[in-house]
Structure 1
Amino acid sequence: MGTDYESKISVYGGIDTHKDTHHVAVIDEHGRPLGDREFGATGAGYRKGIDYLRGFGVVVAVAVEGTGSYGAELARILRRAGMTVLEVARPDRRARRLHSKSDPLDALQAAVTALSGRGLATPKDRDGLVESMRILLTERSSARKARGAAMNQIHALLVTAPEQIRATYRNLGNVKLVAALARSRPTPGHGPEQTLRGTLKRLAVRHQQHTSDIDGIDTRLGELAAQVNPALLQLPGVGPLVASQLLVACGDNPERLSSEQQFAALCGTAPIPASSGKHQRHRLSRGGDRTANSAIHRIVLVRMSAGDTRTVDYIARRTAEGKSDREIIRCLKRFVAREVFKIIEESAASE
């Protein structure tokens, strides 16, 4: 292990995370490999990994792959142990095809990245109210997909249903259709018509249950958003869902975002140069957190449809300058990102 090394030397760690195991590599301040070893992704394995790192000297920083997935709990434990944890992006598939790939090499590369200080980010803390919001958003997403699937199945079954059944529900919108099917009393039996009526009722009841779940989640998200950042909810176009998505993008430690430009890049609203020849222009970014990008896009659309004075005036002015609708929306999204970050930054500074 590290017993042959001076206890006071500075070392850097890199960890390649997987579902069942984590591979730890250690280098000194000159980039020389000191050792690597695999540990189980369990409580005992985490403790052994920390002891292994400390056995080589003073741990300056540890770069961890996948702090948002397999390395989430590991990152929490490393922070509790007083270590500086950095998030390193996994090598892209093309780079891995061109170069050799193994867990020890990936861990070593992460350690080298920690030493160089390039391509790193501060990982999100996952131990506060924002983490609760992330969990609720995950549940809401699955409930929404399941509700949509139930409605699609109802329509698909009605398309092939006998005319008598189709005529009963033909002119009903989705809300009334679900309510009518849920109230129906199918006749027991094993024939195709009885089976169809029973299935339609169960699908409608399932749809109502998912709707109830989503409404309950939205209520809880509103309560949490009001605790975390009530000022954000006061912005035009920002509701509990949008506020939650933006706060989750920042994490429980929004101070990790050092500037509004960094926040804009995170949300995919930073302008990307797309100039060529005599044409000077920017385009929308297709990177960043797409959920946060969707939230900011929704704010812009709500302000446009609600006739927000600032938004309407800006659109009129930019349209007169010859800007396209897409370019105007891009600019509006950038403005909203700046506005949102200011509120999040002020809230973090006041804590």
Structure 2
Amino acid sequence: MKIKSLLVTAAAGAMVAGAAAADPVNLRIQTHHAAETPLGRHITQWADDVNVMSGGDITVEMFFSSSVVGSVETWDAAVNGILDCDATGAAYQTGKNPAFQFLGDIMGGYDTPWQQYSWLYQGGGYEDAQELYNAYNMQLIGWSLFGQESMSSSRPIAGPADLEGWKFRSPPGMETEIFEKLGASPIVMDFTDIFTALETGVIDGADASALANNVAMGLYDIVGHASFPGFHSMPSDHLACNKDVWDGLTEQQQRIMEVAWQKLSLQLTLYMDVANAEAAAQLTADGIVLHDWSAEDRAMFRSMAQEAWADWATRSPEAAALVDSHVEYMTVLGLIN
């Protein structure tokens, strides 16, 4: 027993020594979300988790509200060493490769965030995504999902007919094409410009985020309508790091960041389930009109989205591969035939 105790003590000492040998790292990370939003608060907690679990070997310097570069430029800033990691989303990078659309926002695809997470971790999505990220010298760490987004508007948006001539902020990518076919006038602009554009009447509405996030941004201080529950868009924000930076971390440091981000993902999605329901109740009490599209209108939108998937699948081999992967997995889940 004495020999066994000595061996255990020696092994524990070696583990501590190994952990202490890791070089301290400071990671500069930008997100387009404000610090006071749900994701902003959860990222702050993630940074603290990473610091505590690493014994202080990893510190995170967060830049909120795209304060260093524009949201769409965050990726390049990480690739070029201005930042270390990008906490925005893949859909901002569709100009580099259309395949990023199907890692950022499938549009009209999965019904719940849990289904979309399961594609990443159980449906082979993580491996497919990593191959694309690595081609641009980036490493995907994980996703965070708010659930279905809600559109905000200064006028009713009760169904497809109300979209005719509707000027709204849209993220770049496939969404602009789908909504143009529905008669809307999407305007691509930075996430941080939405409030001012609504306030000045440059746009009638916005596809910004989930309902509770839209409340936190103050959008319903300006406009009186929203779509809820959402159906059109469920974007995945990501954490992606410069691959050289990532490869320079120890395996222990990498595992800490990955596991801590999975905690963030779980906690954020659970939080948003409740926060969106509470926001809907409060907005209704405040006189904001929530529009729930009919099953027929939702089915029509999903059909148009699938036509867009097929078109985008022709634009690069990587896009085709990701569309095939999503369709195969959605078929397994019974979401499409």
On whether the aligned pair clears a TM of 0.5, the verdict is no
Bigger RCO (CA 8 Å, 6+ sep): 2
Greater radius of gyration (CA): 1
TM-score norm. by structure 2 comes to 0.23
Which structure: greater helix fraction?
A: 1
